[in-house]
Amino acid sequence: MSIENLIDDFSFLDGWEDRYRYLIELGNKLPHFSDTQKREEWKISGCQSQVWIIPHFEKNTIRFEGDSDAIIVRGIIAVVLEIFKDKSAQEILDIDVEEIFDKLGLREHITPNRRNGMLSMVDKIKYYAEQALKGQNEYSRISG
């Protein structure tokens, strides 16, 4: 699925109740992390729920996995991961996430706490991209 497909899917849904159900469906497709994957270094601060995002540094891209203990947040993670899927570090830094969130309608339809958590996820992903560009991806030894 591409981000364009997600935008199309969200636009076809009638109301926000349907869109929340769709977010939950997206989140249900994510694999759950094992306890060993739920490490403090991958935990996202600034989220009301517990959220983990693990980077996998590959040759030209960074791949991410994510999980949460909250069902709607898992759906938000699925959207965030789709935005950054199969992107290089520079592409990740160049993405205007706010524009995509606006097209999806997420900015105005999720709670301020979830929105702040979503932005914290994006900040952490962009941090990993910055580290990759600097050649300081020590996580690649652990997660790659």
Give me the domains of the chain, ranges plus CATH numbers: 3-143 (3.90.1010.10)
* Closest CA relative to residue 86, chosen from 105, 102, 114, 64: 64
Per-residue pLDDT tens over the stretch 8-51: 888 888 788 888 899 999 999 999 999 999 999 999 988 789 99
How long is the chain? 144
Tokens encoding 124: 């952490």
Whether residue 47 lies in the annotated active site: yes
Catalytic residue, from 23, 26, 47, 81: name it.
47
For 1-21, the DSSP string reads --HHHHHHHHHHS-SHHHHHH
Rounded to an integer, the average pLDDT of 101-121 is 83
Per-residue pLDDT tens over the stretch 90-103: 999 999 998 998 88
Torsion angle, CA of 12/17/22/23, rounded to 10 degrees? 120
